[in-house]
Amino acid sequence: MNIAFHLGALCTDDERLHRALLKDAEQLALAGISVPWPSRYRRLLRETVGNLAGAAPSPDTREILLDAIIEDHSAKRLVLSDPAFLSLPGYLFDAGRFYGHATARLHGLHSIFPEDRITLFLGLRNPATFVPAVWSQVRGRRFSGFMGEIDPRDLRWSDVIAQIRIAAPQMALTVWCNEDTPLIWTEVLRAIAGSGAEMALAGEHDLLAAIMSPEGLVRFQKYLQTHPPQTEAQTRRIISAFLDKYALPEAIEEEVDLPGWDSALIEEMTATYEDDVAMIAAQPGLTFIAP
């Protein structure tokens, strides 16, 4: 079986990707693509992997899980999404590394599905806004305890990706930047679903609906009807033009308010992130979706 596993990251698309795919669950099922509700597998899969604690699973673990997750066992592709699979928000730095539990989680995933073709999907986010967003979901800890000894200047998504590729070299990996998602939303949806460009997706404008004024969204949709784009590049240019005019400021502006974090630190982290992304995009054997 092909398994597409959207790993988030935490605080990236606010669950919109998976909700958009659920809108087309029936249509995708006809094409052999199963998109189950998260309640069927998120806690179950996390606990199963966590309980392994490095040990090998019992021979029937895979079948037990699939029985619980999938209704139609003739499906050829299974689409899963769990932004907290690699780490719950409060434990992001607990192993003394950025996503330090990723290695153990992916080893466990592979041990359960050793013969299946797994593709991992990961949206990145500027650590300067990512850390504050994740911290806002943490309760009962001081910020210093949450970060531990990690210097925010040292945060690199390339380190996380290195962990993933070492832990799961047999799993394909597709990556993009959350900041680019409005421009590449449909491409990401199709990549995760594996549906092909010929299938119309009901949720292809879900993200724009959240960050664009209602008037702008209506005008955008009417424009597409009268001026259908011929290429992905044309689609991106149209989206960019409408966002320039109709984006909701409160939906796209991000405030950072953390102890000891000033504008100089944020600028430094942002520059580091941009350099890091450029290095990631150039890595061989990795699919990078960019505008």
Domain parsing of the chain, residue ranges: 2-199+271-289
Q: Is the peptide bond before 210 cis (omega within 30 degrees of 0)?
A: no
Residue keyed to tokens 């928000």: 89
Q: Is 111:52 a contact under the CB 8 Å cutoff?
A: yes
Q: Which fold has domain 2-199+271-289?
A: Rossmann fold (3.40.50)
pLDDT level of residue 212 (50, 70, 90 thresholds): very high
Instruction: Give pLDDT tens digits for 193-205.
Output: 998 767 888 888 8
Q: What does residue 208 show for φ and ψ, rounded to 5 degrees?
A: -60, -35
Average pLDDT estimate for 137-155:
92
CA-wise closest residue to 86 among 167, 184, 175, 203 = 167
Instruction: Give pLDDT tens digits for 58-88.
Output: 999 999 999 999 988 889 999 999 999 999 9
Instruction: Give pLDDT tens digits for 124-145.
Output: 999 999 999 999 999 988 998 9
Query: What burial class does residue 8 get, using C-beta atoms within 10 Å of its C-beta: 0-12 exposed, 13-18 middle, 19+ buried?
Result: buried
Least confident window among 108-122, 182-196, 276-290: 182-196
Instruction: Give pLDDT tens digits for 166-196.
Output: 999 999 999 999 999 999 999 999 999 998 7
| Structure tokens belonging to residue 21 | 């795919």
